[in-house]
Structure 1
Amino acid sequence: MGIKSFQGARKQQATAETTVAIRVRDFMTRDLITFKPEQSVEEVIQTLIKNKISGGPVVNKNNELVGIISEGDCLKQISESRYYNMPMEHHTVEKRMARNVETIDGNMNVFDAANRFLESKIRRFPIVENGKLVGQISQKDILKAALELKGQNWK
């Protein structure tokens, strides 16, 4: 009886040693392309195309997150400008950005974050610490984490 208990404890210890706790902050992007509320939508479109991204966080002068602007937000502006035959150069990010932005905790487990992506249908979550934008995690970042950790046990 004592031998089985000892072997069970060793097996449990070995499993615990190979288990990897991986956090969002380990895979988030820290060097972000951000936008300002006063920027033109046309400038955002140029930046999205040039950098091959689908959107980005909007921050104020204190680097506090105030919104998100996406390709979809820009498409709405193009569509309305064309429909009303209005030039786009006077339209700002502030008028088009999404203001109610869901954020995610940098200490969250990456696979819990994956579930948040599935539940919300959002493509990117900003990470805010002490009121400041510090990074962003995307669905692609989660996929990279899964490939990097392939074959390991996850917490």
Structure 2
Amino acid sequence: MKVRDFMIKDVHTVNENAKVSDILQLFVSKRINGAPVVDEAGRLMGMVSDGDILRYINPSRQTVYDMFSYVFVQQPEELEEALSYKTGTPARKIMKKNAQFVSPDQDLEEALGILAKHHFKKLPVVNADKQVVGVISRGDLLKQIATRLNELNRDTVGS
């Protein structure tokens, strides 16, 4: 089986200049938890996930080290304050830059290996020009495998 047989072709990408607030709106409206980050030509630049955004907008918390700066410099930021300026940050500043990817012609087993090894939820699929042409999603992949198993079981029982 090949990646092209399982990949999601209607993939939602994020431009490298998209603001965190726009990415959040995309994630919520499309009910997704990550997206490939692309340049103007649609070439893969990195990946951004809901976890990347949560880690980025999380207000700084005090640690023992921060006690010095708290007393002499400033107080720790609050969530509202963090949101007010961090949501304007472009995707290229928070994305994972060395994103793993596969091609449509690779064996599905290779994609499964990458997803399992790196604990990724999504894996971009790129063509020879490194343009995003799809995505392999862990959840969607499991659904498709389960569907194929059910079909195989029906064929076996019906024989």
**TM class by shorter-chain length?**
0.7 to 0.9
Change (3 A) 1:114 1:143: same
Change (3 A) 1:46 1:114: same
> Mind listing any 5+ residue stretches in structure 2 that lack a counterpart?
62-75, 154-159
Distance 2:126 2:115 in 1: 17
> 2:4 is matched with which residue: 25, 32, 52?
25
Structure-2-length-normalised TM-score? 0.73
Q: Which amino acid in structure 1 is aligned with residue 12 of structure 2? A: I
Structure-1-length-normalised TM-score? 0.75
Contact 2:57 2:87 in 1 (8 A): no
TM-superposition CA deviations, 1:47-76 (whole Å, max 9, x none)? 111111001011111010001110011102
Backbone CA RMSD of aligned residues? 2.0
> 1:105 is matched with which residue: 95, 98, 103?
103
> Mind listing any 5+ residue stretches in structure 1 that lack a counterpart?
1-21
What is the count of residue pairs matched by the alignment?
131
> 2:93 is matched with which residue: 77, 92, 95?
95
Tell me the residue number matched to 1:137: 136
Quick check: 1:79 aligned with 2:58?
Answer: yes
Rg comparison, structure with higher value: 1
Contact 1:36 1:60 in 2 (8 A): yes
Identity %: 27
Quick check: 1:118 aligned with 2:116?
Answer: yes
Tell me the residue number matched to 2:37: 58
Q: Which amino acid in structure 2 is aligned with residue 149 of structure 1? A: R
